[in-house]
Amino acid sequence: MVKILDCTIRDGGHVTNWEFDNDFVMNLFEAAQNFCVTYLELGYRNHIDNEGKGRFYKCSSEFLEKFYNQKGDLQLGVMTDAKRFSLDDFAGADADFVDFVRVATRPDRIGETLEIAERLKSRGYKVFVQLMDISNVDADGYLKLFAWENKDILESLYFADSYGKLQSNDVEQYYNKLKILGYKKISFHAHNNIGTALSNTLKAINLGAFSVDVSKNGMGRNGGNLDISELKKAL
């Protein structure tokens, strides 16, 4: 059964400048659990470029404690960008209030990102890697992914339709390519610029995706994400 990751706060923060009312977050927790969401991404934890951003862009351990204590069965996490990452911001899962970290990478930082994943895993976090701009990953990027000997430490490897332009056959192509490289758990993050978020996500699920992403009302950057209510109706 595919797992669901709710990224309303993190990706929806691009619309709200990462400011959300605490009651909104708590209501989101309840709704997520009612839809059997496994993972909920509370925002970013980036070391630089924080100025002028809202509370859920920074997501320090201290800030997240009050939410973590109310999470129920949800697994809570944050995203960090490879180019904005500092290991100093991640003391270790035992001393933190997040269960997982998703590391987002552009094609030119794949090697660096795999090293980050190893460091985070060594500190006890569950780790996702998200390949942004999948259509521009070149042969060198795929070679790094193939040669990496620690594939099994990942909770899953994501690929993202960063610009919302992929069609179902593209999703199948990239999914199969990552599978051939030796990744057993592959996940998909859709954008809805041309209205394909649902069809592309259902394609990923049919291919055997480990997890897929949703958000409340499709909130997210660019054309938004897959609306959780649409996926609920389709499953």
Task: Tell me the pLDDT band of 222, cut-offs 50, 70 and 90.
Answer: confident
pTM of the complete model: 0.97
Q: What is the DSSP letter of 47?
A: S
Query: Do residues 85 and 77 lie in contact, with contact meaning Cβ atoms separated by under 8 Å?
Result: no
pLDDT at 150 > cutoff 90: yes
Structure tokens at 128: 């996702």
Q: Which pLDDT does position 129 carry in this prediction?
A: 98
Q: Locate all alpha helices (DSSP H) within the chain, ordered by sequence.
A: 8-16, 22-34, 55-58, 61-68, 110-122, 139-147, 168-180, 197-207, 228-234
Fold of domain 3-234: TIM Barrel (3.20.20)
Residue 104 has φ and ψ, to the nearest 5°, of -95, 135
Query: Do residues 19 and 226 lie in contact, with contact meaning Cβ atoms separated by under 8 Å?
Result: no
Paired strand residues for 27: none
Q: Which pLDDT does position 118 carry in this prediction?
A: 98
pLDDT at 120 > cutoff 90: yes
Q: pLDDT, tens digit, for every residue of 29-85? A: 999 999 999 999 999 999 998 899 999 999 999 999 999 999 999 999 999 999 999
Quick one: what percent of the chain has pLDDT higher than 90?
Answer: 97
- Residue spans of the domains in the chain: they are 3-234
Q: Which pLDDT does position 50 carry in this prediction?
A: 87
Q: Which pLDDT does position 142 carry in this prediction?
A: 98
Q: How far apart are CA 46 and CA 28, in angstroms?
A: 23
Query: Do residues 57 and 68 lie in contact, with contact meaning Cβ atoms separated by under 8 Å?
Result: no
Q: Which pLDDT does position 161 carry in this prediction?
A: 96
Q: Mean pLDDT for the chain?
A: 97
- Positive or negative, the Cα torsion across 31, 37, 38, 42? negative
CA 211 from centre of chain:
10
Q: Which pLDDT does position 74 carry in this prediction?
A: 97
- Cα-only R_g, the chain: 16
